[in-house]
Amino acid sequence: MSYSSKGRKVRRRRKSVNVRNLVILIGGAVVAIVLLVLLISGAVRLISKGLGALSGLGDGSSGGSSTVSSDAESSEEPVEPEYTWTTVQLAEADERQGELILVNSSHEYRSEPEDLLIFYGNKTSSYGLKEAEMYAKSPVVTAMNNMMDAFRAATGNGSVLLTSAYRDVSYQQQLYDADLASSGLATSDSVSKPGCSEHHTGYALDLSYQSTSGNNYLDGTGDFAWLVGNCYKYGFIVRYTEEKSSITGIISEPWHYRYVGTVHAEAITKGGYCLEEYIEMLKLHDSTNPYEFTSESGSSYLIYYTAGAGASTDVPVISGKSYTISGTNEGGFVTVVELGGQNTGSGLLSSSASSEGESGTSSSESSDGSSETSSLSNSTESVSG
């Protein structure tokens, strides 16, 4: 009996060992299968990636998203507009015409302004005149009327007098000689030499105001701070400031306003330039690399410089876009192209300018000011500028 019991125990132990071996065998087989699947999957991925690289498509699993990303990036890049360029042919004399001409001790004005308009009978009632016969370029009279109407509406102040406008060379000589006699100096930093005064161009104005103490130059304070802060909207800049006197060569004159047109006036004012600095800045920007300017009204412009080429200069312009061109009186031209404009361009130069398909024509404006009686004053003579 004891023998038989021992035999059964042996059989049970052998059976247990066989089950354990079977489990281990099955587990090993499962692990081997998993490893084989992973190996095959990895091989497929490597083969797919290799084929994609050869075909230029990249990883098959990420190629689609990569393409979408590339398309998205390219769609965000600004698209350069395509323009059709032509040229306007301008003469050497045209370099001394236009609202942006630079006149100072280094750049004499050797022309006479055309299209001068008398203020008397063409002004509004918002300001007075020092004397009856005062002239300026026609656009300047219009801009002065508009600015002074807005000034009076904003401040209620109607005491401003136009003290000095256009001056010819002989009159400038009288003022210059008188200043030297008064100061005892060899040169003047308040009165420009004959031929070097902006007043000779018809684009400059001196403003004063009447008070109980008489006639006083504007100092840019009080009510008159409005003019300093808003004149650019009407095409004017305060030409001579204290901080730029080392460049302009003229002491601070907050009463001296220079007309340069609304686009240039805003660009100069917002950029903190004086006229000399502005033109030097524009010399860095030709038609292939224009200065891009957006006004506070949202209008966009391209502004660029073209160096004079002697007797005749071809100035690039964009066909179908409104543009203006001004000489600089220092060897070149400045063009302003309005990107939103769709009209045939017109220049600020003489109507003799011609081009292939375009022509520069004079854009002189007539004054829309009323013909009200002017207010005259017997104040002392203006000797600034």
Within a domain: 102: yes
Task: Determine which of 23-32, 68-77, 287-296 has the lowest per-residue pLDDT on average.
Answer: 68-77
Higher pLDDT residue, 132 or 364? Answer: 132
Say if 46 falls within a structural domain. Answer: no
Confidence of residue 47 (pLDDT cuts 50, 70, 90): low
Residue with tokens 């406008």: 165
In a domain, 167, yes or no: yes
As a whole-number percent, the residues of the chain with pLDDT over 70 amount to 70
Token pair, residue 76, equals 């965000």
CATH number of the domain that 291 lies in?
3.30.1380.10
> Where is pLDDT greater, at 66 or 302?
302
Q: What is the dihedral of CA 149, 150, 151, 152, to 10 degrees?
A: 50
pLDDT in tens, 337-351: 999 855 444 445 432
Whole-angstrom Cα distance, residue 118 to residue 100? Answer: 21
β-strand partners of 313: 90
Query: Within a domain: residue 4?
Result: no
pLDDT score at 179:
84
127-182 confidence digits (pLDDT tens):
999 999 999 999 999 999 999 999 999 999 999 999 999 999 888 888 888 888 88
Q: Regarding predicted confidence, which is higher, 294 or 61?
A: 294
Q: Is 222 left (phi over 0), alpha (psi -120 to 50) or beta?
A: left
Query: Rounded CA gap, 259 and 273, in Å?
Result: 15
Using 50, 70 and 90 to split pLDDT, how confident is the model at 16?
Answer: low
Q: Which range is most confident: 23-27, 82-86, 220-224?
A: 220-224
Per-residue confidence (pLDDT) for residue 384, from 0 to 100 = 57
CA dist., res. 117 & res. 127, Å (int): 17
Number of domains, the chain: 1
Which domain, by its residues, includes 234? Answer: 85-355
Q: Which two tokens stand for residue 236?
A: 């004017």
- Is residue 38 in a domain? no
222 or 193, which is more confident: 222
Task: Give the range among 46-50, 115-119, 128-132 with minimum mean pLDDT.
Answer: 46-50
User: Is residue 346 within 8 Å of residue 332, measured between CB atoms?
Assistant: no
Q: What is the mean pLDDT of the chain?
A: 80
306 inside domain: yes
Closest CA to 330 of 89, 106, 99: 106
Query: Which of 240 and 184 is assigned the larger pLDDT?
Result: 240
Assign residue 365 a region: left if phi > 0, alpha if psi is -120 to 50, beta otherwise?
Answer: beta
Any domain includes 258: yes
Structural domain contains residue 325: yes
Report, as an integer, the average pLDDT of 329-338: 98
